[in-house]
């Protein structure tokens, strides 16, 4: 089976975890702090606060900005559920903006239409590993007095005009889930240059505690362990190499698959460094998409749809839905298909994927 994604775990992670286990210091401690320092430096921000997962990173970012009941937060309609569900978790209202097809990120013209004086923040998602049109989106948000949060769960190491995503907005959220460009198994981080925001995230993730057993506010336990951080540190040290391999695979896919008229390969804007968390093609004929996925599976090749339903059509978010708000997101949900993409794919596996996709279309 050629897997669509796979963590890239080697001796370095095994060694790092073993060291932590032997140290006897398993919970949040020096290794976690070292991870935070190194990750903040890598992205180019002042503070990184590691938390249990990317979902909670978004929640903590929103809460630290003071977002809650009565506020609106604009999110792209085409992203993973957590981007919007965490807005709801704060008591605020998610407002869906449509996406555009070159970046699969939020469309600035759609943001213009939905932003209002109630908008407290805009969550910019760098989907599939390609940066969204940050300056245009942030310009609109800032004009309306709204914060900009980056959801970087799929974009570790991606660059926008030479700057790492995660360093562009007021605060950003990362995920280190097992399939991400770098992983801890489960994990997340909130990044910011703002000392106050960092302080609030610190309180939220650790029982509102200032000094031992002194609680100044209500907080939770969102901490990671040294064990997770040890994996994260080893992964961070090889992130650029892993992303380079993803990009190499993408170039090979591009070379061959862009010759097929029946599909569109992902684009990389001149101002962007795409890190191909996913390699997602657009299948021109809607009716071919699921058939291609089925054909690939019959050849032992995994393929998946990210995402089969735009957020405004999710039952859980029905009360925030505005029918017809997001035609491009709706079309994307019917046309996109993600092919195998991870650093452990061999050249032979990449060629096998290319061959199978070509075969499918040559039989039509
Ligand atoms: C765009 C996006 N946002 C948020 C998340 C949530 O991250 P996690 O799975 O670590 O909670 C994910 C991960 O699946 C994601 O892809």
Residues of the chain with CATH 3.90.1150.10: 239-362
pTM for the full predicted model: 0.98
Best probe residue, ligand 1, of 60, 105, 175 (max atoms within 8 Å of C-beta): 175
List the residue whose alpha carbon is closest to atom 12 of ligand 1.
153
Nearest to 60 by CA among 220, 204, 208, 225: 204
85 lines ligand 1 (CB under 6 A): no
Nearest to 325 by CA among 78, 80, 83: 78
Q: Are strands 263-264 and 171-175 parallel, antiparallel or unpaired?
A: unpaired
Tell me if the domain spanning 239-362 has CATH number 3.40.50.300.
no
CB of 12 within 8 A of CB of 310?
A: no
DSSP letters for 317-332: GGGG--TTS-HHHHHH
Instruction: Write out the chain's pLDDT in tens, 364 residues.
Output: 999 999 999 999 999 999 999 999 999 999 999 999 999 999 999 999 999 999 999 999 999 999 999 999 999 999 999 999 999 999 999 999 999 999 999 999 999 999 999 999 999 999 999 999 999 999 999 999 999 999 999 999 999 999 999 999 999 999 999 999 999 999 999 999 999 999 999 999 999 999 999 999 999 999 999 999 999 999 999 999 999 999 999 999 999 999 999 999 999 999 999 999 999 999 999 999 999 999 999 999 999 999 999 999 999 999 999 889 999 999 999 999 999 999 999 999 999 999 999 999 998 7
What kind of architecture, by CATH, is found in domain 11-237?
3-Layer(aba) Sandwich (3.40)
Distances, alpha carbon 342 to alpha carbons 6, 27, 346, 354, in Å = 6, 30, 10, 15
């Amino acid at each position: 089976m050629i897997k669509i994604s796979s963590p890239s775990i080697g001796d370095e992670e095994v060694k790092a975890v073993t060291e932590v286990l032997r140290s006897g210091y398993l919970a949040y401690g020096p290794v976690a702090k070292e991870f935070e320092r190194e990750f903040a430096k890598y992205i180019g921000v002042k503070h990184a606060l590691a938390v249990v997962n990317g979902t909670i990173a978004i929640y903590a970012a929103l809460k630290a900005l003071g977002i809650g009941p009565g506020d609106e937060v604009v999110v792209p309609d085409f992203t993973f559920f957590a981007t919007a569900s965490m807005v709801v978790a704060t008591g605020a209202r998610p407002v869906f903006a449509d996406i555009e097809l070159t970046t699969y990120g939020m469309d600035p013209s759609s943001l213009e239409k939905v932003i209002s004086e109630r908008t407290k923040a805009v969550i910019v998602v760098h989907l599939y590993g390609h940066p969204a049109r940050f300056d245009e989106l942030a310009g609109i948000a800032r004009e309306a007095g709204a914060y900009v949060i980056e959801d970087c769960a799929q974009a570790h190491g991606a660059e926008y005009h030479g700057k790492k995503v995660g360093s562009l907005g007021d605060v950003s959220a990362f995920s280190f889930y097992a399939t991400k460009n770098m992983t801890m198994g489960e994990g997340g981080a909130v990044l910011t240059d703002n000392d106050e925001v960092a302080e609030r995230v610190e309180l939220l993730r650790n029982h509102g505690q200032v000094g031992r057993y002194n609680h100044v506010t209500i907080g939770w336990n969102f901490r990671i362990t040294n064990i997770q951080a040890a994996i994260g540190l080893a992964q961070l040290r090889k992130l650029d190499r892993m992303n380079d391999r993803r990009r190499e695979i993408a170039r090979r896919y591009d070379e061959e698959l862009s010759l097929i008229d029946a599909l569109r390969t992902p684009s990389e804007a001149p101002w962007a460094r795409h890190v191909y968390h996913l390699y997602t093609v657009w299948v021109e004929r809607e009716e071919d998409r699921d058939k291609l996925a089925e054909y690939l599976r019959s050849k032992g090749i995994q393929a998946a749809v990210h995402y089969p339903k735009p957020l405004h059509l999710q039952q859980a978010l029905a009360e925030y839905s505005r029918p017809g708000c997001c035609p491009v997101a709706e079309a994307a949900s019917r046309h996109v298909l993600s092919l195998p993409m991870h650093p452990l794919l061999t050249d032979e596996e990449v060629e096998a994927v290319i061959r199978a996709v070509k075969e499918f279309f040559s039989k039509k």
